[in-house]
Chain A
């Protein structure tokens, strides 16, 4: 099926993706049960909890642009480019500094990641960001029986690692 028929007007997959890309993740989870093609469209949205209210994604066929909302303590860190106003999109900062684009890895490819911060563990599942050969993370879960050992892949130095740091930090800040 190429698209969804709307009384003569067809909204293509592409357009539906664009519309959905404005919505926070929790809405996407709800809409996954719309029909099977929506489910596969959003296959990458795996397990996310309420903590991810402040994350949105820009979806396209092989890329996801991640936006993180800085809602907690991390808003006054020089390493994030100086004081950041409450409510600044992490997205802007990350992108300004490193211009990282995210890549979707298909589920079932062993793409589960974690991040440790002083004994706290953030569980990350399903999605991997990539720039060159490097990988990072997005998406996470607090569900206890979904716990996996964490692994964070870092590539060969450069802005990429800085990006990991920022991303990891803000995830931790959001959850703990």
Chain B
């Protein structure tokens, strides 16, 4: 994918001609912002997409100079792995030609490729970046995952220690059994 080429740091240009060509291209293209992840990988990201990130907006409000200069905007709590996924998601959802069905298929595939651990880490990154659409998508997806699972599964999923005594837990289940709630 395109993200990977962008993730590599700017290569030194070999000739002046090449440099000139590159300049020409960037003039035609929309402006880009430089983002630096927690593992010190620099990404050039289209401004239209980067500006969807609440964290980037906030950073630019504080230091507006960063949008024009070559300074990278640091994303302290986002690793490159997550940023690649987030960009993939936003590029797809930003793509004008993407139909509803394409997006649905994309979302399904996107989710399928993540294991639970990655899903949680991505959620944390999305929360830090303050990207609403992806955040809602992820929380909803996790809710769907745990929806029909038993209590034990959800405990493991969230890494929760059960701090009820067996008696307390049994009493709780008893108390709420009338509501037709199955605890499994």
Contacts and interface: CB of A to CB of B under 8 A. Distances in A.
Interface of A: 4-7, 9-12, 14-16, 18-23, 26-27, 29-38, 47-50, 143
B159 A5 contact: yes
Contact of A9 (B121, B135, B172): B121
Interface of B: 117, 120-121, 123-124, 127, 135, 139-140, 142-144, 146-147, 151, 154-155, 158-164, 169, 172-173, 176, 178-183
Given A4-B158, A4-B159, A7-B117, A33 B151 contact: yes
B28 to A, nearest CB: 41
Given A6-B120, A9-B124, A35-B160, A15 B139 contact: yes
The 3 lowest CB-CB distance pairs between A and B, nearest first, are A22-B143, A6-B159, A18-B139
Contacts of B124: 9-11, 15
B170 to A, nearest CB: 10
Contacts of B143: 19-23
B158 to A, nearest CB: 5
Given A9-B121, A22-B139, A50-B180, A32 B158 contact: no
- Between A9, A12, A32, A50, the greatest number of chain B beta carbons within 10 A of the residue's beta carbon is seen for A9
A12 B155 CA distance: 15
22 contacts: A4-B159, A6-B117, A7-B117, A7-B159, A9-B120, A11-B124, A15-B124, A18-B135, A18-B139, A22-B139, A22-B143, A27-B147, A30-B151, A30-B181, A30-B182, A32-B172, A33-B183, A35-B155, A36-B164, A37-B163, A49-B180, A50-B179
Nearest to A38: B160
B164 A33 contact: yes
Contacts of A4: 158-160
Nearest to B170: A33
A33 B172 contact: yes
Contact of B161 (A11, A27, A35, A50): A35
Contact of A26 (B144, B151, B155, B181): B181
Q: Is the interface of A mostly helix, strand, loop or mixed?
A: mixed
A8 to B, nearest CB: 9
Nearest to A49: B179
B164 A35 contact: yes
Nearest to A14: B127
B123 A11 contact: yes
Contacts of A9: 117, 120-121, 124
A23 B146 CA distance: 9
A43 B139 CA distance: 21
Could you say which of A16, A20, A22, A32 has the most chain B C-beta atoms within 10 Å of its C-beta?
A: A22
A33 B172 CA distance: 7
